[in-house]
C-alpha cells in the first residue's frame, strides 16, 4: 500500500538506482548532479590548462608544478543543477481505471509517478515544480527545492480531481512563464486530447526538454470485453454500443496504429515518450527514462 506520499515501499526501494537527468547538458549556477559543458572547480576532472591571473591557488596542481616548473590548473566539469517540472493531466478521462487493478486510475498513477520524480529531485538537491491541468484550469506550484517544496506538491496532488476538459491555451500562460528554456518537463497524461500533445510539442520547440509518459489502461491494451458493452467518453458523455468480441480486432489494430503515430509525432518534435499501463510496476516507465547508463553503474 502507498503511504501519504503516494509511493509504495517496494517502489521507493527500487528508486535508489535511478538518477533524474536530462539528455542536454545545461550550465547553471550552483552544484547538482548533472554534468554540464561549463568548466570550473567541479567534481569530475576534465583537463589541465595554464594558470591565469585570478585563478584560485587551490586549483593549481602542485605535483605537476614540481615536475614541470610551470603552473597548471586542474579544470573540471562543473556540476549544474536541474529544474524538473511535472505536468499532470487532470481532465475527466484521467479518472478511468479498469478491472485489472481495481481502485487504481490514470490519475492515481500520475500522482504516484509525479511523487517519484519529486523524490528523485529531492535526493539530488534539484529544484522541481508541479502543474496540474484539467477542468479547473491550471494549478501551479512554482519550482523550489527541499522537503517543504515536496510537501507542497504532494498536497496539490492529493487535492487533484479528474474533471472536465483540457483548458484553452491562454489559461496555461503561467506555466510558460515559470518553466524556462533548458529545464526538464515530464508530462503525465493519457494523451487523448490533441491539446496535450500540442503542449508537449510546443514546450520542446521552445527548448524545454520534454518527456511524455502516456498512461493507459490494461483493458485498452488487451480489450478483454465479451458480449454487448456500452462504451462512454468521460469528457463528452458520448456513448457507443458494441459487441466486445466483434470489435476487438479492429480496436486493437486502430489503437496500436494510433500509439505508433503518436510516438513518431512526438519523436519528430524531440519529445521522448514511454507508455505506462495501469497493471505494470509503477517504476517501469521511470526506468525507461532514467535508468543509469552501464558506465555509471560500473
Q: Are residues 38 and 185 in the same domain?
A: no
Q: Is 72 among the domain residues?
A: yes
Is residue 3, in this structure, part of any structural domain at all? no
For cell 456513448, the residue is: 239
Q: Which span out of 95-99, 275-279, 289-293 was modeled with the highest average pLDDT? A: 275-279
**Residue 29 resides in a domain:** no
Is residue 87 within 8 Å of 185, Cβ to Cβ? yes
What pLDDT score does 247 carry?
Answer: 79
d(CA 205, CA 209): 9
Torsion of CA 253, 257, 259, 265, to 10 degrees: 180
Residue 94: inside a domain, yes or no?
A: yes
pLDDT tens-place string over residues 191-231: 999 999 999 999 999 999 999 999 999 999 998 877 655 55
Question: What pLDDT was estimated at residue 50?
Answer: 78
Output the pLDDT for position 92. Answer: 95
> Is the domain of 47 the same as that of 110?
no
Q: Assess contact for 11 and 3: CB atoms under 8 A.
A: no
CA distances from 85 to 9, 118, 119, 179, 183 (A): 24, 9, 13, 7, 8
Backbone angles phi, psi at 111, to 5 degrees: -60, -50
Residues 139 and 287 in one domain: yes
Flag whether 4 is in a domain: no
Q: Is the pLDDT of residue 252 over 70?
A: yes
Find all residues with CB under 8 Å of 84, minimum gap 6, and list them.
Answer: 20, 117, 121, 126, 127, 128, 129, 183, 184, 185, 186
Residues 177, 76 share a domain: no
Residues 75 and 59: their CA atoms lie apart, in Å, by 8
SS3 199: helix
Q: Kindly state the percentage of the chain with pLDDT values over 90.
A: 61
Examine the domain organization and report whether 58 and 206 are in the same domain: no
CA 193, chain centre distance (Å): 18
My answer on whether 20 and 101 are in the same domain is yes
**Among 132, 141, 137, 145, which residue's Cα sits nearest to residue 83?**
145
**Overall domain count for the chain:** 2
Domain membership of residue 54 as a residue range? 34-80
Closest listed residue to residue 160, CA positions, set 134, 181, 125, 182: 134
- pTM score of the predicted model: 0.78
87 and 73 co-located in one domain: no
CATH code assigned at 212: 3.40.50.410
Amino acid at each position: 500500500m502507498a503511504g501519504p506520499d503516494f509511493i509504495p515501499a517496494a517502489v521507493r526501494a527500487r528508486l535508489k538506482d535511478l538518477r533524474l537527468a536530462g539528455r542536454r547538458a545545461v550550465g547553471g549556477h550552483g552544484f547538482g548532479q548533472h554534468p554540464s559543458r561549463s568548466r570550473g572547480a567541479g567534481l569530475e576532472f576534465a583537463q589541465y590548462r595554464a594558470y591565469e591571473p585570478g585563478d584560485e591557488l587551490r586549483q593549481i596542481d602542485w605535483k605537476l608544478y614540481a615536475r614541470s616548473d610551470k603552473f597548471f590548473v586542474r579544470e573540471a566539469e562543473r556540476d549544474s543543477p536541474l529544474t524538473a517540472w511535472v505536468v499532470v493531466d487532470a481532465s475527466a478521462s484521467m479518472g478511468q481505471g479498469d478491472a485489472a487493478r481495481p481502485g487504481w486510475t490514470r490519475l492515481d498513477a500520475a500522482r504516484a509517478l509525479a511523487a517519484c520524480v519529486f523524490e528523485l529531485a529531492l535526493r539530488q538537491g534539484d529544484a522541481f515544480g508541479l502543474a496540474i491541468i484539467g477542468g479547473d484550469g491550471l494549478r501551479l506550484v512554482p519550482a523550489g527545492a527541499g522537503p517543504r517544496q515536496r510537501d507542497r506538491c504532494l498536497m496539490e496532488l492529493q487535492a487533484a480531481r479528474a474533471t472536465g476538459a483540457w483548458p484553452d491555451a491562454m489559461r496555461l500562460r503561467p506555466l510558460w512563464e515559470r518553466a524556462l528554456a533548458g529545464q526538464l518537463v515530464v508530462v503525465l497524461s493519457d494523451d487523448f486530447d490533441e491539446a496535450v500533445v500540442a503542449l508537449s510539442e510546443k514546450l520542446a520547440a521552445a527548448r524545454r526538454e520534454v518527456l511524455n509518459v502516456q498512461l493507459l489502461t490494461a483493458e485498452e491494451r488487451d480489450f478483454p470485453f465479451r458480449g454487448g458493452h456500452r462504451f462512454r467518453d468521460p469528457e463528452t458523455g458520448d456513448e457507443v454500443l458494441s459487441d466486445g468480441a466483434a470489435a476487438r480486432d479492429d480496436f486493437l489494430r486502430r489503437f496500436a496504429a494510433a500509439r505508433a503515430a503518436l510516438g513518431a509525432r512526438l519523436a519528430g518534435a524531440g519529445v521522448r515518450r514511454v507508455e505506462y499501463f495501469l497493471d505494470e510496476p509503477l517504476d517501469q516507465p521511470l526506468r525507461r527514462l532514467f535508468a543509469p547508463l552501464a558506465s555509471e553503474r560500473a
